[in-house]
Every structure is written in structure tokens, then in C-alpha cells.
Structure 1
Amino acid sequence: MSVGVRSIDSDVIAQKRNAAIKGAFFTEFVDMFDIYLPTIILTPALAYFQPTQLPQGLAGILTSLVFITTLLGRPIGATIFGAIGDKIGRRKATIGSVAGFGLITLLIALLPGYHSIGITSYVLLVILRFLDGVCLGGGYTGSHPLAMEYSEKHKRGFVGALILAAFPLAYILINLIGMVEFSLVPQAGPASAYAIWGWRIPFVIGALIAGWLTLYYIRKVPESETWEKSKKEKTSLLRMFKGKAGKSFIQVLVMMIGFWLTQNIVTLVLPTTVLRDILGLGSFQVTLTLLISYVVLFGSYIVSGVISQKIGRRTFFLILGPSIAIVGAGLLYILINGKSLPLALIILIVCVFSAIVTAPWGAIVTYINERFATEVRASGFGLGFSASVIIPSFYAFYMNWLGVFMPYETTIIALLIIGGIIGAIGAYFGPETKDVDFTHVE
């Protein structure tokens, strides 16, 4: 083969690689944008879908169902689209799932309220959010393995981290959209402008981004060549739970339960329980703190991925687990007892705390993909990433149970320590993966 032909082939491969990586990055971005739509945008307008003067307990249950159903849909979507990704292709699985949650997000934006169709409005909202969760669970299940299979071995740590760095960017954008809307559109109950039409705008934006991403995959992203060369006739979802793949799944599940638990402290407990309730920060101060910390997270994820490429994924996790349990717990203790601290210092501590506690996520996308053979990689990644979130999601119950034995504020620290230890134990029982060949896993 001549030098010119080799050069052309190299350029074609590079184009395919870049298209797949960009696709995975934007899939993660759209996924997380859609996830945050209810928590940031829809919450102030939920009264639009519910009867007036609900008892506080029932109102809380109805509100939580909008989020819980999305959560429950994600592992189901990972199962369905993981099987599709392993059987008929990562690209097709991604196109189907992204088109699905784009359409469902648009349908949510068009929903009438309680005063138009009664409680059916709320029921439809919950059903659509569940279906949305199913499709969201399929987005990264197809796109992330596709990108990783195109990545060069020595750059997989960076690529996996770059993909997940789309998460903080999505959070930043949707918060900025929310801040603009909250300042411009009146919010005063179910008859307000925001409740009637204001909340719909970000949902339409999310649907349009998903539609664009679907077309991008159709036009620009090729199927994984690694998958095309695999023995697809042997692919079966049952393979995920047997033999070497089954052992890998259990090990990944344990590790991810630990790191999801610590991640929840940063993304769910820190903004509400710590910053708002314990420290008494106002809405603007909380939002400012979180926006700055998520800018930091974008860079810290990438740094984490690069470090894991140098020292190894397993070594990286084994260092971070105890670091979260010791250093992270210490910083959290300072925050919880920091009512007299100036806002600038609180922001600094939150940034350092968030960077340490979420550092494993800079290597997680790469690591889980490296743990599974090509024939089951989409299923292994999707389920390992999604199913593990279920147990940590009941963190509020664990805090209440621990509250019997210790002050409620310190239960957060206890969960952080437990999560760091579980994550490290899970990593300990797995192999190093940074040099693994994607045609097989030892």
C-alpha cells in the first residue's frame, strides 16, 4: 500500500473517530439536559398539573413521582437498548433512543394542564417521564461504547473523561436558561405565565437539540468497526449474566453503587440539605456556588481521565475511594459547621470538595467499557452505569435510618464515607484495564 493510500485511510479513520466522539459528547449533554429539566425548570410549575390545595405529604409524593419514574426508566432503557446495541449496532441503538427522548420531550412541552383535562394531565406527565427515562437510558448505552471503540488505546482515558464532562456543561446551560426565565416570566401559581407557557420553552429547546443530534448520527456517525468485526451471532443479553461477563457485571455494580452514593451527595444533598438548609444560603447564592463548582468539574473530569490513563484506572479508584472517605468527609464536616464562613470561602470549599468526590467519574465511562467484551459491551456499560444508581437513590431513607444513631447533619458524612469505601472495594476486586484490547477482556 502506498503512502498516499495509507494517508487517506488514516484521515478517514480520524474523521470517523472524531464524529463518534463528538456524538457521544453531545448525547451525554442532551441526556443530562433532559434529566435536569424537571428538577430545575418543571418544579416551579408542577401545580399546573395537580389539583389545588393538596395535603403537603401527597403533594410531595406526586412531585417525587415525576423524578422517580424517570430514574426507574433508565435501567430498563439500558437493558433494551443495550441488547439492541450489541445485536444490531451501537449507531442504530443511539439513533432510536435519541429520537425517542426528543419526541417525548416535545410531547411533554405540549401537555395541557389540570384545569383542561383533570388528573389525566399529571398521569400523562408521569408516563411520559417514565418513557423518557427509558430512552435516556438507551442514549449513552449506544453512543459511549461506539465512541470508546473508535478511540485510540492511549487516549481512551481522555476521551471517556471528555464525554462525561458534557454533564456539568448541561447543568450550567439549563441553570442559565432557568435564571433568565425566572427573572423575566412571572411565577405566581398555576395560572401564572410561567406555569402556563414559560416552562415549555426549555423543553422545546431540549427536543430540538435531540432532533439535531438524531440527524447528526444519521448523517455523520458510522457504525463501530470493532462491533462489525465481532461475533454478533453469539450475542445474547443472557451472556451478560454468565461467566466472565457476569463476574465483571457484579464487580462493576458494586463499585458503581459506591461512587453513585458519593456522587448523590454532591449533586442532590449538597445543594439542598447543606447549602440551603444547614448554611442558610439564598437561592442566588446557592445557584452561584453551584455554577462555579460545575465549571470547575468540567476541567477536573478531564484531568481525572488523563491521570487514570497514566497510573491506571484501578489504581486511580483505589486512591480516590479512601480520599473521598477521609479528605472529602473532612471538607464536608467543615461545610456543615461553616455557618459563619464568608461566601467566597464556602464556594472554594465546595469546588475542592466536588472535584475530589466526583473525580472517579472522569474514568468511569472508559473503565466500564474496558471491562466487557465487544459482544456484550453496550449491555455491560448500560446496565453497569444505570442499574447501580437504584440503591444509592434512596439516600434520604438511609439518612433517616442513620439519624436514629447520630445527628442528622452527620448522616451525610457517614454516607460519603460508606460510598467511598464501597467504591474502593469494588475497584479492588476488578483488574487493571487501561491496556486492554477491545477485541477481548482478560
Structure 2
Amino acid sequence: MTTAAQATDEHERNRKHAQRGAFLGFFVDMFDIYLPIIALAPAIGYFISPDLDASTTAVITGMIFAATLIGRPLGALIFGRYADMHGRKNATVIAVGGFGILTIVVGLLPGYQTWGIASVVVFVLLRFVIGIFVGGEYTAASPLAMEYSPKEKRGLNGGLIMTGFPLAYVAVAVITLIMLQIAPAGDIDSAYTQWGWRIPFFLGGIMALAFVGYYLKSVRESELFEGSGGGGTPVKDLFTGQNRKNFIQVFVLMTGFWLSLNCVTAILPGLLRTESNLTPTQVSATLIVAYLIVAVGYVVCAVISQRTGRRPFLMVWGGIAGIGGTAVYAAYLAMKPQNLFVVMIVVTLIAVLVVSVWGLTTVYINERFQTGVRATGFGLGYSLAVVIPSFYAFYQSGLESVMPFEWTVLPLLVIGCAFITIGAAMGPETKDVDFAAADKEPALDS
């Protein structure tokens, strides 16, 4: 075998490991994100006073989730800078190892009966730190995979990485349902409340640490990064000149992505309980089916964009989701179906129309930035845009003065989809960007 052929084979092996590593990393990342939302929900009473009313309990539950969300942009900043200066591989290993260890620590925490209010305070603080590490994982691993990917396969590879998002939800939901059968939930002394919720956390931590072992052994640093030499001032450079314009465009686009996503992942589950009277188990089963189909939608959308171009696809899909997704959502709210099979079909259709476009996020954002700022730009562009949409409950409260509360989700969905179309229109076509050639230019023009 010639030296050139050997080099080609080695590059292909590196590409496959980088791609696999990015998917697995994002999967364990999102698995960790969903743990307090799904696995802990039936046992939240373990960490809070039994004397608290429902609204206060909801606030504390929201704080646990918000702590992770707040930590993610900070993690993207810290690890994005590190990845752009010192390498994507080391940043990924540190980030995943960090949240893996801390997730196991969370699974060992005593509850309110032992520590009092300190138990939930420590839990929230740990989730904040975990959020920092979680924000670092995709910030480093995804750019590494995209830098190994040939441009004609970036759509497919980016879509496959993003399937870690819905598949992680499915995994956590299935594990939680199984644990609830083994250790039923109930009062503070029930099996699930005392120890059942810990098992998914331990599994999440163990998977993260196993991933670290795989990544250290099998994944090589990005050749494109090694060729660039690293160093520099990525944070400063990101907010200077053309890079700043690129970041603003990505921020607008991702604000639309997150706002429309919240309409499905955050708001819809509650509506399934109040409008269709589904039990928690039925809600979980419905979302499991929907997210399995959405995972396929991620790949389909990403592959189609490789043929049509990212920009036109995003602009058109913003309209499809804004009109079609909103229409189906409105039909659901008007009909209030009670049949579980009908609900599953409608929810799956809503999820496919609104959420499938997320299959483009990894590839598109990475294509918008040069190697010297790619990890920082991707991480912050992806994470920082979550802040404004996170206040969706306040927007719903304001809209309630002019429409029934359950209908307030529809204007938010329309606005989110409009931001997707506008954000895409603000940027250039990116599918044919040559990463190596782009590094020699001042920046990718908008």
C-alpha cells in the first residue's frame, strides 16, 4: 500500500471515530440534560419540604432546570475558547469527564429529611456546574467532527450527530418508565423516591466516563485545527469585524430555533395533560413515539439541505413550520382529542413539522465560522440564544390578557419560525464552504 493510500485510510478512520465520538458525546450530554426533567420528576419530593405548595414546588423544579441552562453558555465560552486555543479533543474529554463525575455525585445526594433546604441548594449548584461542563461537550466535539467531514457529507454527518438530542430523551424516558415498574413512586418513603431515581443518574455518569475512555483512545485531534496552530484570541476575534456579524446572524436564527422548540418540548407536554387528560405514562409514551420519528426527520432534513442548500432550506422550512406546524397545533387545541392513538399522530406531526429542522444546526453553525473561532462561535451561537426563549412562560402570561392561556403557544411558535426564516435570510449559503480555504480569507461574508 502506498504512503498516500495509508494516509487516506488513516484519515477515514479518524473521520469515523470523530463522527461517532460527536454523536455519542452529544447523546450522553443530552441524556444528562433530561435526567432532572424526566427521571427526577416523580421523586422531586425527596429534595423539597412536604409543606410547600404546588406553585413553590414548580418554581424549585424550574430552578433546577434553569441552573443547567444558565451554565451552558458559560461552558460554551470557557470550553470554546479552550478548544480554539488548545484543541477540541482535550476540551471534550475534560467537559464530559466533569459532568460524568458530578452526575454520579448528584445520584448520591441525601434529601430534605437529612440535609433540609441545603439538599436542594446543593442540587441546584451542582446542576449549574454540570451545565458548564455540558456546554463544553458539544462546543468542542461537534466542530472536531465537522472539520473531519468532507463537505459533501457534512449535512448527513451533522444530522446524525443531532439525533443524540431526541434519542437521549427516548432513552431517559424508557429507563424511567422501567424503573417506575421496578420501584414504584409514591410518598417520601416509596422505593422510587428513596433510590429508584438514582439509577438513571448513575447510568448517565457511567456512560459519560465510558465515553471519555473511548474518546481518549480512539479520537484524534482535528487535523484542520492542528494545521492552524491554535492560539490566538478566539473570544475577542468572534466579536470583531465580520465574525461579529456572522455571530449576530446565527444568534437571530438560533433564537427562532429555541423559541419554536420550547413550544413543543416545554409547553406541549403540559397541554397533553390538561387538554387531552393523558396520564404521565401516556404523555411519556406519546413523546417517545414522536421523538423517534423526529430523529429520522433530523437526518432527512439535513440530507435534503445538502442538495438544496442550507439557506433556502431554512428559509422555506421556517414557513412550513410557522404555517403548517401552527395549523396542526391549533387543530389539536380546538379538537382536544382524548384518544391516545389520535394524540400520538397529531403530536408526532407537530414535532416533525417544528423540530426536524434542528438536524441542520450543527452543520450550519460550524460552516458559519473559521477554524480559529469555530468552537467558540458554535458553542456560544448554539447556547447563548437559549436565554430569551427561556422566558416563554412570561410571554404566555402577557398574551393571556388577549387570548385563552392554552392558545398563547401559537403566537410564540409563529414568531419563532419567523426568526428562523429571517435569520437564514440574513446569512449566506454555506454548504460548499471549504473550511481550509475559508481560513485563508478574512471571514465568510454575510
1:415-437, Cα deviation, whole Å (9 max, x unpaired):
11111111111111100000111
Secondary structure at the counterpart of residue 375 of structure 1: coil
TM-score computed with the length of structure 1 as normaliser: 0.97
- C-alpha distance in structure 2 between counterparts of 1:36 and 1:250, whole Å: 29
- C-alpha distance in structure 1 between counterparts of 2:7 and 2:283, whole Å: 51
**1:152 aligned to which of 137, 141, 150:** 150
Question: Are 1:168 and 2:186 matched, yes or no?
Answer: no
Secondary structure at the counterpart of residue 284 of structure 1: helix
- C-alpha distance in structure 1 between counterparts of 2:409 and 2:58, whole Å: 22
Aligned match of 1:236? 234
Aligned match of 1:94? 92
- C-alpha distance in structure 2 between counterparts of 1:62 and 1:363, whole Å: 33
1:279-306, Cα deviation, whole Å (9 max, x unpaired):
2222233222111111101111000010
Give, in angstroms, the shift of residue 244 of structure 1.
Answer: 1.1
- C-alpha distance in structure 1 between counterparts of 2:237 and 2:54, whole Å: 47
- C-alpha distance in structure 2 between counterparts of 1:235 and 1:339, whole Å: 54
- C-alpha distance in structure 1 between counterparts of 2:231 and 2:41, whole Å: 46
CA gap of 1:60–1:409, structure 2 versus 1, over 3 A, is closer
1:3-62, Cα deviation, whole Å (9 max, x unpaired):
632221111001000000000000110011101100111122121122221133322222
Amino acid at match of 1:216: Y
- C-alpha distance in structure 1 between counterparts of 2:178 and 2:28, whole Å: 20
Aligned match of 1:107? 105
Give, in angstroms, the shift of residue 341 of structure 1.
Answer: 6.1
1:145-188, Cα deviation, whole Å (9 max, x unpaired):
00000001100000000000111111111111111111221322
CA gap of 1:342–1:120, structure 2 versus 1, over 3 A, is closer
Secondary structure at the counterpart of residue 229 of structure 1: helix
Alignment of 1:278-289 (within 5 A): 278-289=275-286
Aligned match of 2:335? 338
Amino acid at match of 2:41: T
1:396-423, Cα deviation, whole Å (9 max, x unpaired):
1111111111222221111111111111
**2:207 aligned to which of 196, 206, 209:** 209
Aligned match of 1:360? 357
Report percent identity of matched pairs. 45
Unaligned 5+ segments in structure 1 are none
Aligned match of 1:351? 348
**2:83 aligned to which of 82, 85, 104:** 85
- C-alpha distance in structure 2 between counterparts of 1:403 and 1:409, whole Å: 9
Aligned match of 1:254? 252
Give, in angstroms, the shift of residue 340 of structure 1.
Answer: 4.2
Secondary structure at the counterpart of residue 360 of structure 1: helix
Amino acid at match of 2:206: L
Is the Cα–Cα contact under 8 Å of residues 78 and 383 in structure 1 kept in the other structure? yes
- C-alpha distance in structure 1 between counterparts of 2:165 and 2:31, whole Å: 8
Secondary structure at the counterpart of residue 428 of structure 2: coil
Give, in angstroms, the shift of residue 93 of structure 1.
Answer: 0.6
Unaligned 5+ segments in structure 2 are none
1:127-149, Cα deviation, whole Å (9 max, x unpaired):
10000101000010000000000
Of stretches 389-398 and 336-345 in structure 1, the one that deviates more from structure 2 is 336-345
Aligned match of 1:30? 28
- C-alpha distance in structure 1 between counterparts of 2:339 and 2:273, whole Å: 15
User: How many matched pairs?
Assistant: 439
**1:119 aligned to which of 106, 117, 121:** 117
Give, in angstroms, the shift of residue 231 of structure 1.
Answer: 4.7
Aligned match of 1:61? 59
Q: CA RMSD in A?
A: 1.3
**2:137 aligned to which of 130, 135, 139:** 139
- C-alpha distance in structure 1 between counterparts of 2:78 and 2:262, whole Å: 25
Amino acid at match of 2:178: V
Give, in angstroms, the shift of residue 266 of structure 1.
Answer: 1.4
Give, in angstroms, the shift of residue 209 of structure 1.
Answer: 0.2
Is the Cα–Cα contact under 8 Å of residues 234 and 376 in structure 2 kept in the other structure? no
Question: Are 1:416 and 2:424 matched, yes or no?
Answer: no
Is the Cα–Cα contact under 8 Å of residues 238 and 247 in structure 2 kept in the other structure? yes
1:182-225, Cα deviation, whole Å (9 max, x unpaired):
12213222222212111111111001000001111111100001
- C-alpha distance in structure 2 between counterparts of 1:130 and 1:228, whole Å: 32
Amino acid at match of 2:11: I
Amino acid at match of 1:392: P
Alignment of 1:315-334 (within 5 A): 315-334=312-331
- C-alpha distance in structure 2 between counterparts of 1:435 and 1:63, whole Å: 44
TM-score computed with the length of structure 2 as normaliser: 0.96
- C-alpha distance in structure 1 between counterparts of 2:234 and 2:316, whole Å: 35
- C-alpha distance in structure 1 between counterparts of 2:186 and 2:422, whole Å: 49
Secondary structure at the counterpart of residue 359 of structure 1: helix
Amino acid at match of 2:329: L
- C-alpha distance in structure 2 between counterparts of 1:41 and 1:421, whole Å: 34
- C-alpha distance in structure 2 between counterparts of 1:284 and 1:124, whole Å: 29
Is the Cα–Cα contact under 8 Å of residues 177 and 281 in structure 2 kept in the other structure? no
Amino acid at match of 1:310: R
- C-alpha distance in structure 1 between counterparts of 2:338 and 2:328, whole Å: 13
Is the Cα–Cα contact under 8 Å of residues 84 and 231 in structure 2 kept in the other structure? no
Aligned match of 2:386? 389
**2:291 aligned to which of 275, 290, 294:** 294
Is the Cα–Cα contact under 8 Å of residues 279 and 336 in structure 1 kept in the other structure? no
1:70-93, Cα deviation, whole Å (9 max, x unpaired):
110000000000000001000011
Amino acid at match of 1:170: A
- C-alpha distance in structure 1 between counterparts of 2:46 and 2:32, whole Å: 20
Is the Cα–Cα contact under 8 Å of residues 295 and 356 in structure 2 kept in the other structure? no
- C-alpha distance in structure 2 between counterparts of 1:56 and 1:341, whole Å: 26
